[in-house]
Structure 1
Amino acid sequence: MAITESHPRIKVEIICNGTALKEYDDDENDDSRDTVTRYIEAKSGEEFEVRHTLTKPYPDTAVLFVILLDGKWTRGSFMRPSSFHGQTTDMTVKGANTVIDEEWFLKKFCFSELTIDDSDLGLAGDELMKTLKEMGEIKVEAYAVKNLRDSHHGPRQATMTDLGTIPEKALKGRGTTHSTSLRAPTPVSKGTVLHYEYVDPDKKPFAIYKFKHRSRDALKSLMVIPRSLSPVPLEERDINTLNPEEMRELLKRQKEQEAARKVKLEVKRERPRGHNVPANGDDDDDEVSFVSAKRRKLTVIIDEDGMETIDLT
């Protein structure tokens, strides 16, 4: 759960399939007392929700939570003092509201994998880099608000960015793999739109929660989560730790190695003795056979005194 240092009684979580996603620290980000940044794992096509939880003692004013996906305003939701009951109070936002022909619809949040190629940045490089600055991030801003009252206007429409294919160079060093998108609209009951006023005259949020979503491989490459360790060979593991399947595989390997050893020994036994040693000295028998040269006939010379001399040249 993401909790700021200055507001420990408010937490924000990203929910998938009813469970809060595991969060990882962003060691390179220098958060302030009012800001917290976490990494989470994104899976292509998976829907997600944003849950806000308040714990006693509750704030004195209503709280407006604004959700920005990839840097774009997507949804604003209120938690009012009239709803503060018990030890904790929470609210889950599943998507963005829209009105079509006076009928209310919900577009659920989901993760979408980016389409990346190796093309050049081109002339649109600067504009693209500006757009990508907050790509791959879910940001929740919390504001203290007052004087809430009904409005006759419809809900504010979410704006999403479709970048198409993105050059890999534009994402270098960011590890961004996913964007966020909205599902097709599904009918919901009519909601309420409220007017409000900011407690802070500068209209600044009192807390900011950032979630950088990346694929699991990207989280490993960024050293956010440990890389998978190489498996220890079966031959080097303690035999008591092997399961039945691993034990069968180990026995199979040992039989194959023993069969190969026996074949090698048979080949050595059948090889004829006295063969020449290859020029590179690669001989499995480690034996050397010498081939004798033919004895040449020596020349005998008899001088005039009858002495015999043997010519050794």
Structure 2
Amino acid sequence: TNAMNSVITSNPLFAPHLLGTPRPSPSRSEGFGNDRMSSRKRKASEDDLDDRMSASPTNSPAVTGRQLFPASRSTKRSRTIVAAGRPLDLPRLLETLSPDEMRNLLQNICDQNPAIAHEVVTKAPRPSIESTLSVLQKYETTFKESFPFGNRPSSDYTYNRVRQPMLQLIEALKDFTPHFLPPNEPQPTLSLQYLDAVTQIIHRLPTWDTFQHNHAKFEAYDELAQAWALAIRESAKRGGGFHLQYAGWDQKLLKHNEDSGGRLQDAVNELRANVTYLNGPAAGGTTPSNYDERAAIRQQILSGTYGPDVSVGVGRCSNRSRVAAANGIMAIISDVPHVSVDIVVDGRPLPEYLDEDDDDSISPTSTIKYVECVSGSHFQIRSDLTGMELKHLKRGHAVTIDLYLDGKKVGGSVKQFPLRHHAVSTRSGVRYKEDGVWKERKFMFSDLVTSEDGASSRPTPKLKGLGTITVKLRYAVVTGSTPAHLRRAPGVNVSQETIHEKDLKGQAISHQAKLGEARIIRAHSSINTRDLGDPFAVFNFRYRSRRDLQALCLIPRSPSPAPLEERPEESLTREELLELLRRQKTRQEEQVVIKQELKRERIEDGDSDDELIVISSRPPTRKLKISADASTGIETIDLTDS
């Protein structure tokens, strides 16, 4: 180290790495400080090669006067790095956030700063139908993935597993719907497209075994019905709403109403009331044009109602243009569309039929429907007051529901407001108290016992309600309550005794209601009420057998099966082939007997009289004498006993 330092000190003009091994270096003729250096480039020659090379470390005369100075202060200094923590800048921070974290952050900021929330709402891009449906699709996917394996998709257990994601899906759908309705959405076509898509989502929701679990689905249908009605009213203002037909929206709405069990009927009624080609009023009270008439005729042809009301047939059904069809599951009254009642058998509502020829069935506060009954089947009476919460009643008010079977009151219930989750009432039997124990006997259908012996002893007015289930609803005020141990609830017997045929007066009634076996139930307290007037809604269900409904022409008659002789042999079962063989054998035997009966034997004697003897399988009672007049050719048959 000392030697190296001495070399560097004695030779300050040379770098240390050049002092170890001598090597040639170019010689320079002029110093670095010569200001008169020629600007012309010197021509290189081969002779100058040896002159330009010299051996190190000989001092070069060109650098004898050169001095080394420290580096200039203008030279760029190296940056000193100091390790210290600091937060991320906003752009880098936002890059690390997931969409959910970004939404939560923005939501929290908007909640704390309403001005920022307003700014976000006004400046955010307008949601499209595609983006909205993609969000709803995610909710629906989550809902479907929540279903357990190995269980019935409509069971109570499955409902409890999927209840939360299902409610989230319905809630999101309800929140998005107002955005696509007028006046917020100026284009009715977009409103209809959105409603068509979200209605399909509600259709895909399962119908649960327990009726109360369907409340959220039915409520979504009700809100969609109002949304459809609003979009239809806006569409009807433009060109009479003809694009509703030619774009197929009218048929789509009718199909949606059918799939929903008639819960979109309000929207269908709005369509009929606002659109001219569906027999609605013409705009401004003017007469429809020929174009409108053609559209109306086309619509009638598609619906099967075009042409005069002419029918062909015999009897009562011949006076009808068509057989009445089921018009929904629940009975609904026009003045109270938010209240519905139905008859349930085996967990399913019975189809209802309307008699168009019955004038009593048309009333703003009552309805009469026909349902099919089967002997021995139990039934329930279910009423739904969903929708009355904000429209009619206030807190402290109530609605009483009275039930009648064959004209006899069999119980009822009271619905206090607010209803919350108790808008649906289902009664399956008569509840009564016997020896301090509460019991119930279930409702059931049974055959009506009739008699033709003797005279009628029963007054006809008592049979007025026979074969009818009646539900009456009244407004009331709650006055108190009675504990279960203080209640008096005697049993009710609804079964009819033997009824004379004359008392029925030809009515198509073959069934009656009765009560099943008693079973013990828990005690029930009662609510005391004071009625506020007459019933505001009366539902009548006339239960009849299938044969009776066919006799009333409310359902089509069963087609007669084709005779066995006309059916292909390969389509016949073994029993049918044996029956066909038996029939053929019987016909052959009958033909033999007929031939024997037609055989005649003519016997002639000395007189001109002819005697005709009929030979048959049984002995003849007497002989017939036939005589002929030769002049006239007339034959005379003697029928006297002689």
Q: Normalising by structure 1, report the TM-score.
A: 0.70
Counterpart position of 1:204: 534
For structure 1, which runs of at least 5 residues remain unmatched after alignment? 261-277, 280-313
- Residue 12 of structure 1, aligned match among 330, 338, 341: 341
Aligned to 2:385: 54
8 Å Cα contact 1:73-1:158 kept in structure 2? no
Equivalences for residues 302-313 of structure 1 within 5 A: none
What's 1:81 paired with?
417
Equivalent residues of 1:66, 1:73 under 8 A apart = yes
Alpha-carbon separation, structure 1, partners of 2:580 and 2:435: 70
Structure 1 pair 161–100 and aligned structure 2 pair: CA distance change class (3 A): closer
Matched, 1:221 2:555: no
For residue 343 of structure 2, what is the amino acid of its counterpart?
I
Q: 2:464 aligns with which of 120, 130, 133?
A: 133
Alpha-carbon distance in 2 for matches of 1:247, 1:99: 57
Instruction: State yes or no: 1:67 paired with 2:412.
Output: no
TM-superposed CA distance for 1:212, in Å, is 0.7
**Residues 114 and 227 of structure 1: CA distance in aligned 2, closer, same or farther (over 3 Å):** same
Correspondence 1:267-282 to 2 at 5 A: none
Question: Counterparts in 2 of 1:94-109, with a 5 A limit?
Answer: 94-109=428-443
Q: 1:167-192 deviations in whole A, cap 9, x for unaligned?
A: 11211322111111122221111111
Q: Distance in 2 between matches of 1:192 and 1:19?
A: 29
Letter in 1 for 2:506: G
Residue number among 170, 176, 182 corresponding to 2:509 in the alignment: 176
CA–CA distance in 2 between the matches of 1:57 and 1:161?
32
Q: Hey, what's the Cα distance between the residues in 2 that align with 1:248 and 1:215?
A: 29
Q: Is the 8 A contact 2:494 2:515 kept in 1?
A: no
Gapped regions of structure 2 (runs ≥ 5): 1-329, 588-600, 603-642
2:372 to 41, 55, 63: 41
Are the equivalent residues in 2 in contact too, given 1:4–1:35 (CA < 8 A)? yes
Once the 2 structures are TM-superposed, how far is the Cα of residue 54 of structure 1 from its aligned partner? 2.0
- 8 A contact 2:478–2:527 mirrored in 1: no
Percent pairwise identity: 31
Select which of 116, 121, 139 maps to 2:450.
116
Quote the RMSD (CA, aligned, Å).
3.2
- TM-aligned CA distance change 1:35 to 1:231, over 3 Å: same
With over 3 angstroms needed to count, the CA separation of the structure-2 counterparts of 1:243 and 1:160, relative to structure 1, is farther
Change over 3 Å in CA distance of 1:171–1:249 after alignment to 2: closer
Using the TM superposition, name which of 171-180 and 90-99 deviates more: 171-180
Contact 2:373 2:544 in 1 (8 A): yes
Deviation at 1:96, TM superposition (A): 1.3
Judged with a 3 Å threshold, the aligned counterparts in structure 2 of structure 1 residues 229 and 193 are, in CA distance, closer, same or farther, namely same
Letter in 2 for 1:11: S
**Structure 2 residue aligned with 1:143:** 474
- Identify which of structures 1 and 2 has the higher relative contact order when contacts are C-alpha pairs closer than 8 Å and 6+ apart: 1
Q: Distance in 1 between matches of 2:415 and 2:535?
A: 15
For 1:217, what is the secondary structure of its paired residue?
helix
In 2, Cα distance between equivalents of 1:51 and 1:83: 16
Distance in structure 2 (CA, Å) of the matches to 1:162 and 1:233: 42
* Post-superposition offset of 1:162: 4.2
Measured in 1, the distance between the counterparts of 2:358 and 2:472 equals: 18
Q: Distance in 1 between matches of 2:494 and 2:461?
A: 12
For 1:131 and 1:109, locate their aligned partners in 2 and report how far apart those are by CA, in whole Å. 20
Deviation at 1:247, TM superposition (A): 12
User: Residues of 2 paired with 1:93 and 1:249: CA distance?
Assistant: 47
Give the structure 2 partner of residue 91 of structure 1.
425
Provide TM-score, normalisation by structure 2. 0.36
Q: Name the count of aligned residue pairs.
A: 252
Name the structure with the higher helix share: 2
1-structure distance, mates of 2:348, 2:488: 28
Q: Alpha carbons of 1:248 and 1:95: their partners in 2 closer, same or farther (altered >3 Å)? A: closer
Aligned to 2:548, what secondary structure does the other structure show? Answer: helix
Task: State the secondary structure of the residue aligned to 2:385.
Answer: strand
Match 1:160 to one of 479, 493, 498:
493
Match of 1:220, SS state, is helix
How far does residue 246 in structure 1 lie from its aligned partner after superposition? 6.8
Return the structure number with greater strand share.
1
CA deviations 1:123-143 (Å, max 9, x no partner) are x25x1x121111111000011
Question: How far is the alpha carbon of 1:117 from its aligned partner?
Answer: 2.0
**Alpha carbons of 1:101 and 1:29: their partners in 2 closer, same or farther (altered >3 Å)?**
same
| Matched residue SS, 2:336 | coil
Structure 2 residue aligned with 1:263: none
Q: Counterpart amino acid of 2:369?
A: R
Aligned partner of 2:526 among 181, 185, 193: 193
Query: Per the alignment, do residues 234 and 184 of structure 1 end up closer, same or farther by CA in structure 2, a change over 3 Å counting?
Result: closer
Contact 2:376/2:446 (<8 A) preserved: yes
Rounded Cα–Cα distance in structure 1 between residues aligned with 2:512 and 2:502: 17
SS of 2:423 mapped into structure 1: strand
CA contact (8 A) 2:382 2:427 kept: yes
| 2:535 aligned partner, one-letter code | P
CA distance in 2, matches of 1:155, 1:17: 31
Q: 1:27 aligns with which of 350, 356, 365?
A: 356
Distance 1:248 1:106 in 2: 47
Tell me if structure 2 keeps the 8 A contact 1:64–1:143.
yes
Shift of residue 161 of structure 1? 4.4
Letter in 1 for 2:545: S
The amino acid across from 2:544 in the alignment is R
Tell me by how many angstroms 1:245 deviates: 4.7
